[in-house]
Chains A and B, each alone.
Chain A
Amino acid sequence: MPWQPGEAVPPTAFDPDVTFFTEEERAFVTAAVDRLIPADDYPSASELGVVDFIDHQLAGAYGRGDIYYMKGPFRDGLPTQGYQAQAPALLYRQAIADIRAGLARNDLADFTELEPEEQDRLLMGLSEGEDELEHTDAKTFFDTLWQNTLEGYFGDPVHGGNRDMEAWKMIGFPGARYDYRPWINHGGNPVKLEPVSVGGRMVP
């Protein structure tokens, strides 16, 4: 059973053609993640490909919940009982539809058209579990969106986010390096190294 040729398992490459979102969903997520991580001297979430990352993830095993327990009955859990929603792709679809329908019902502008402060208020309301959604749990949606945003922003560019490793450059993380022995005795001085990706230095 030990070593056989051709056995190594490389990461699954990002494929921009494998997507899940409708145009409206994509616009919603773009607006939302750019409030979670807005542009300043460093790029915003969408500028680093976070929307592409999430779109691709939701179109695959993660979005389908292949490795999660997805059998019913589904019930609203206690705050200590963890994720009790449908698979992530369906969670996004239900939550975005519910949020947009709620805004329309109250004669408010679409989420993408709201002022940034109003977008922030809405996102904060979701995160506190204050706002109820019709088909799914608001806080679970916020927590999932936030977690996926962090993954896309700070994850390896091989998965479609963190374009040109800009997020790593922003904080000074050198990426997928495997040998820091020359810097063990850094003595509290910053170790400044160009980042590398598991896909190599040149990332599409």
Chain B
Amino acid sequence: MSRILPEREVVIVGFGWTGAIMAEQLTEAGMDVLALERGVWRDTSTDYAVNNAQDEVRYRYRDELFEDLSRETLTFRNTSDQQALPMRMLGSFLPGTNVGGSGVHWNGQTWRFLPSDFQARSHNVERYGEDAIQDDMTIQDWGVTYDELEPHYDYFEKICGISGKAGNLNGEIQDGGNPFEGWRSSEYPNPPMEMVAAPLKFRDAARELGYNPFPGPSANMSQGYTNPLGVQLAPCTYCGFCEKYACGNYSKATATTTILPALMRRENFTLRTGAMVLRVEKDSSNSRATGVTYLNTEGEEFFQPAQMVILAGYITHNVNLLMQSGIGEIYNPETGEGQVGRNYAYQIMSGASVFYDDDFAVNPFVGAGALGQVIDEFNGDNFDHTGLGFIGGGYIAQWQTNGRPIESHPVPEGTPKFGAGWKKAVRESYNHTVGVGAHGAVMSFRGNYLDLDPTYTDAYGRPLMRLTFDFKQNDIRMSNYLTGKVAEIANAMGGREVSVSPVKTPYDIAPYQTTHNTGGHIMGDNPGNSVTNKYNQSWDLPNLFLTGAGNFPQNPGYNPTGTVAALAYHSAKAIREQYLRNPGPLVQA
């Protein structure tokens, strides 16, 4: 039997970026908010101290900031006719755990999506005709527009102190920024980061080829900064331990370094750690969420009643909670019925390495997660896709993120796999190699989805979620097209030789690619094509809201965090300004 706790106005499940954003926005409006986090409290000065943080074995390879798969994981297969097997170790993506969530160990590349990305279906059909949408592609419009999200992008960039250069201020194209971006109402709050040598090589080669390179928008601080909540961030010291690590310098914007110092002081906010939520409970008429059931670290079960429930876990956990709670219908790819688990998507990576002789030292360890130069000519619909056989795109960049040697020891093509030749090549290449990458979109398809596994169970006895995913022809063609552009730039960067790494197919869950998983509880304009409405409110239970990249109907060619945050602020605004006055569906089905 569960112990029943006193009712709270709002309970938030998961305390990463969006949990903190929702809690901050709703407590500011006077609401009483309880956040439940399965992990433990983590803070910068105590847990991520600069004399401990730069430890590859501990953090990257023993998963200290990542989720514990012995408790819950998923099973994986490429196609529906295969037997799914458990993801026993983390690999392709690295969801976080503990206070701050995955946002603690991100690089900080902070993008807005293009205005046309939010109209992925109608925009492409209008420009290229119905045939642009290939048979099994299930992309759709988001139900929200760029113009509606712009103020929220802007606010999040100010919360984070993003370093960058605007390319489009209120419709006026600006020199030195991204000329393809959507309009912005204000300049970035901080100037771009100071560049090291490698991104400048990329910039010069890209300019030479007629492209418009610009500094990547970065959540690593280019200078000291105080955000609108009065929280201070410090200048980035270019230590090269961002992604997969926490920042010990208060130089990378995370929920922990930008929101929590203000939020934790509010009396109408409570955080409860070690609270593993098992399911959302509903009333007998299936019309409202009544609260959540969770286990504490001693394994005792509690029912936490709430007037409103917000699922703010990583996408896999949000989708899993819907499935475990029997909210909505699980997607069936045969019939196309059911919305929960539909339109899972990812991103598609490829690149090239430029090898230099001894006369150019890269010093890759002088780096930062979002230190780099980018071109956006081949993202989204920034280029004419006529005759190319695909839609979508991605950006091409040279990010100088790190020189962490377990992870980064590039060698030229033809180097032996191990032994004396390998060792010599590592020694000669470590300080003389520059990587150029393409970061590409993945569309949604009928055959890529999440459901429940019939065989494997988690530590709580629940079925594991099952992921069925592979790269499809549209995205492979797109990626190969971008890889050609990568090679063109790489070859113009003045190195001795270039190794090109196209995307590998089929999708392999073992090598790290990116923690940009999306979909499964997607948003849309009606309950027949989505789990949530444009405010990320459940169509089934109007007092249930879902945040995060699970809302993306497909995955555009940029890093997701900026849009994840903008959607959360957009949702919080609707709760504050509309829902509180009239608690019910914000969009009539």
Contact = CB atoms under 8 A, between A and B. Distances in A.
A72 to B, nearest CB: 9
Contacts of B248: 178
Contacts of A202: none
Interface in A3-44: 3-4, 7-12, 35-38, 40, 42
Interface residues of B, number: 79
B70 to A, nearest CB: 6
Contacts, number: 211
Interface string B518-550: 000000000000000000000000000000000
Contact of B70 (A66, A82, A184, A191): A66
Interface stretch (B105-113, B328-336, B347-355, B412-420): B412-420
A11 B508 contact: no
A172 B73 contact: no
A83 B510 contact: yes
Given A1-B41, A82-B91, A127 B427 contact: no
Contact of B69 (A68, A127, A188): A68
Interface in B450-488: 455-457
Contacts of A127: 417-418
B70 A180 contact: no
A81 B194 CA distance: 41
A199 B243 CA distance: 22
A89 interface: no
Interface in B475-523: 506-510
Interface string B187-204: 000000011110000000
Given A176-B51, A186-B366, A198-B54, A73 B455 contact: yes
Interface string B362-378: 11011000000000000
Given A40-B420, A81-B85, A67 B76 contact: no
A175 B333 CA distance: 50
A123 to B, nearest CB: 7
The residue among A68, A80, A171 with the most chain B CB atoms within 10 A of its own CB is A80
B47 interface: yes
B144 interface: no
Contact of B237 (A8, A84, A155, A180): A180
B15 to A, nearest CB: 11
Nearest to B359: A188
B82 A183 contact: no
A36 B51 contact: no
A59 B449 CA distance: 39
Interface size on A, as a range, is 35 or more
B93 to A, nearest CB: 12
A191 B364 CA distance: 10
B406 A2 contact: no
B431 A8 contact: no
B70 A1 contact: no
B365 A174 contact: yes
A59 B273 CA distance: 30
Contacts of A177: 54, 239, 365
The residue among B69, B248, B361 with the most chain A CB atoms within 10 A of its own CB is B361
A79 interface: yes
B589 interface: no
B366 A68 contact: no
Contacts of B77: 78, 81
Contacts of A172: 430-431
A180 B510 contact: no
B87 A82 contact: yes
Contact of A1 (B271, B361, B405, B417): B271
B46 A8 contact: yes
A184 B89 contact: no
B24 to A, nearest CB: 15
B383 interface: no
Given A180-B239, A198-B51, A123 B418 contact: yes
Interface string B75-90: 0111000110111110
Interface string B544-571: 0000000000000000000000000000
B365 A173 contact: yes
B409 A42 contact: no
The residue among A37, A82, A183, A189 with the most chain B CB atoms within 10 A of its own CB is A82
A75 interface: yes
Interface string B246-285: 0011000000000010001000000101000000000000
A81 B91 CA distance: 10
Nearest to A193: B365
A196 to B, nearest CB: 9
Interface stretch (B55-63, B135-143, B286-294, B306-314): B55-63
Interface stretch (A97-105, A129-137, A146-154): A146-154
B427 A42 contact: yes
Contacts of B456: 71
A22 B214 CA distance: 57
Nearest to B507: A80
A8 B196 CA distance: 33
B464 to A, nearest CB: 8
Contacts of A184: 194-196, 238, 366
A180 B46 contact: no
Nearest to A34: B419
Contact of A37 (B271, B365, B418): B418
Given A82-B76, A82-B89, A186 B196 contact: yes
A58 interface: no
Interface in A141-180: 146-147, 150-151, 154-156, 158-159, 167-168, 170-180
Nearest to A140: B510
12 contacts: A8-B46, A68-B89, A78-B85, A120-B419, A155-B57, A156-B54, A156-B57, A171-B405, A171-B431, A180-B239, A184-B194, A191-B365
Interface of A: 1-4, 7-12, 35-38, 40, 42, 61-62, 65-71, 73, 75, 77-84, 120, 123-124, 127, 146-147, 150-151, 154-156, 158-159, 167-168, 170-181, 183-191, 198
In the A-B complex, the 3 residue pairs with the smallest Cβ-Cβ separation, listed nearest first, are A176-B54, A190-B361, A154-B405
Given A156-B55, A183-B238, 18 more contacts: A7-B46, A11-B52, A35-B419, A62-B62, A69-B69, A73-B455, A82-B87, A82-B88, A82-B508, A83-B89, A124-B417, A154-B405, A168-B405, A171-B431, A184-B194, A186-B196, A186-B366, A191-B363
